[in-house]
């Protein structure tokens, strides 16, 4: 039947036992109508052939799940790549019926992190963030999950808390991997080894340090670990810290950059004319900067997880939770890859 023969809104209202205003709100996707009432209106509209199938399907389908990814602001190129992946993934994520947006925050200030979580939760059904280990942050997470907002941690976990899942690599295994790479590449040489973290307030960075120290002590006791510095994932700060390490420890033969800002470390090593064969340098995150350092020999290995994998795993977990499934149903663990100059993708 053509549009002139279709039942009109008053007919649907009578069939559904509601007002014409309610019918109008349902058919135009406006809120404030109880789900049972909306279903009754749509069923009446379908029976009266008021809506074509495609339009009926759009009316029946709920709005997309609103997701916010809170990422640290700053110069960390890997995290910027993750943010770009989220912002540009609408086509890839279309089958999941989600709407994603990215916000960059001061992730080293627990008060600001907690405030950002509460602020973004006002119009989001799911939040994913790189967690800072602090009671204020845990309290905010527990409050939001208690209100029915799904919260995931990315890259660095938060415990104990009510977050529903963690998405990222096994950070202790990553630290052990870095130690093994440095120890094996070093061969019979001895000397000092240093670490530069973003912040040990990130549980993930602390776990990488712990894994690194444990394996160094067990497998390479001849190498002296001279402690960890915190560069807040900032390339310029890491540059300054590396220069200081080279001056303080002339026997420095290994360096593990636990977080971001590896380009600052690489710049310092090159400016000091350190022979790449005399220094083993391992970092995290394959970016244009670390790729260039691998190619010119300054950097020996990158411990990497594809940012698209992090994004897709997070979205799949959110949709599992939305649809009433177990959070990790069908989700494969995030796998660490080791990137060398000779296997660059």
Q: Please, what are the domains in the chain?
A: 3-60 (1.10.260.40), 65-168+308-334 (3.40.50.2300), 171-304 (3.40.50.2300)
Greater confidence, 145 or 24?
145
Predicted confidence band of residue 60 (pLDDT cuts 50, 70, 90): low
Would you state the pLDDT for residue 5? 41
Predicted confidence band of residue 2 (pLDDT cuts 50, 70, 90): very low
Distances in Å between the Cα of 40 and the Cα atoms of 9, 17, 232 are 14, 9, 55
Residue 83: which H helix or E strand, with range? helix 77-87
Distances in Å between the Cα of 312 and the Cα atoms of 56, 92, 95, 169, 315 are 30, 9, 12, 14, 5
Strands of 165-167's sheet, edge to edge? 98-105, 65-72, 126-129, 150-154, 165-167
Span 314-341, pLDDT tens digits: 999 999 999 899 999 999 899 999 999 9
Name the nearest CA neighbour of 70 among 124, 107, 123.
107
Average pLDDT over residues 297-303: 97
Stated pTM of the model: 0.83
């Amino acid at each position: 039947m053509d549009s002139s023969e279709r039942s009109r809104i008053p007919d649907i209202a009578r069939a559904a036992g509601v007002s014409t205003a309610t019918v109008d709100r349902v058919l135009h996707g406006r809120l404030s109508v109880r789900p049972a009432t909306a279903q009754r209106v749509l069923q009446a509209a379908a029976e009266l052939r008021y809506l074509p199938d495609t339009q009926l399907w759009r009316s029946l389908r709920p709005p997309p799940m609103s997701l916010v990814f809170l990422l640290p602001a700053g110069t960390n190129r890997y995290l910027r790549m993750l943010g770009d992946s989220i912002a540009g993934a609408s086509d890839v994520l279309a089958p999941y019926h989600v709407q994603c947006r990215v916000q960059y925050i001061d992730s080293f200030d627990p008060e600001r992190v907690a405030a950002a979580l509460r602020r973004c939760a006002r119009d989001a059904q799911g939040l994913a963030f790189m967690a800072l280990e602090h009671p204020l942050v845990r309290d905010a997470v527990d409050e939001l999950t208690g209100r029915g907002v799904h919260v995931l941690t990315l890259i660095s976990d938060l415990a104990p808390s009510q977050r529903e899942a963690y998405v990222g690599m096994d950070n202790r295994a990553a630290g052990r991997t870095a130690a093994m790479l440095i120890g094996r590449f070093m061969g019979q040489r001895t000397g000092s080894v240093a670490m530069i973290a973003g912040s040990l307030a990130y549980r993930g960075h602390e776990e990488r340090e712990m894994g690194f120290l444990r394996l160094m002590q067990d497998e390479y006791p001849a190498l002296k670990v001279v402690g960890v510095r915190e560069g807040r994932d900032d390339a310029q700060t890491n540059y300054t810290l590396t220069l200081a390490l080279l001056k303080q420890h002339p026997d420095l033969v290994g360096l593990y950059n636990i977080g971001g800002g590896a380009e600052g470390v690489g710049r310092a090593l090159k400016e000091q004319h350190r022979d790449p064969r005399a220094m083993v340098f391992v970092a995290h995150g394959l970016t244009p900067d670390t790729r260039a350092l691998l190619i010119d020999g300054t950097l020996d290995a990158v411990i990497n997880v594809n940012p698209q994998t992090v994004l897709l795993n997070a979205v799949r977990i959110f949709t599992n939770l939305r649809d009433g499934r177990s959070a990790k149903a069908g989700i494969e663990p995030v796998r660490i890859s080791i990137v060398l100059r000779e296997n660059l993708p």
